Amino acid sequence: MFEGIEMPWIWLGIGLLLAALEIVVPGVYLIWLAVAAIATGAIAFVFDLGVPFQIINFVFLSLIAAFSAKRFLRDRPIVSSDPLLNKRGGRMTGETAVVTQAFDGGTGRVRHGDSEWLARGPDIAVGERVRITGSDGSLLLVEPLNLLTDEGTAPPAGA
């Protein structure tokens, strides 16, 4: 099948294919196999090794690269510039919503933006405004929104 093609070029091709697959199917795993395949190709180019030894070399280099990368990424995790990117409930924390289904027994529905969410909180009537304090999966945690009241500044009745 690979008549006339030297093994180092096959390893280079496998490495480039794995690197391309890492771009298509991201997961930070195939890139380390690609590094091992390219390194195996480089070693096979410099030293005239048999195919079985090249395969053993690839397996060992793959294990070394994958476990080294795992340890490196564990000690220095990749920090996202937007940690709440895929956490819609977390993005809504601190915002307000309107109750669309009265809270009875601690659960009800609220409208935030153009969608309705199941919510958990104290008993609240329909139409009341609530503040979103967090989320538990797709369930929003809410509390009544206490707007500033004008207590103590109004003149006493009958004065």
pTM over 0.75, yes/no = no
Confidence at residue 152, expressed as pLDDT on a 0 to 100 scale = 54
pLDDT of residue 5: 75
pLDDT at 25: 85
SS3 106: coil
Q: What string of DSSP letters covers 36-91?
A: HHHHHHHHHHHS---HHHHHHHHHHHHHHHHHHHHHHHHHSPPPPS-TTTT-HHHH
Q: What is the pLDDT along the chain (159 residues), one digit of tens a residue?
A: 556 678 888 888 989 998 898 888 877 778 888 999 999 999 988 888 888 898 899 999 999 988 888 888 788 777 767 666 667 767 788 888 999 998 888 899 999 888 888 999 888 889 889 999 888 888 889 988 876 555 555 555 655
Domain boundaries, the chain: 7-75, 88-144
| CATH architecture for the domain at 88-144 | Beta Barrel (2.40)
Asked if 44 contacts 11 with a C-beta cutoff of 8 angstroms, the reply is yes
67 in Cβ contact with 24 (< 8 Å): no
In this prediction, residue 100 carries a pLDDT of: 92
Q: What is the per-residue pLDDT for 59? A: 92
What integer pLDDT is reported at residue 110 of this predicted model? 92
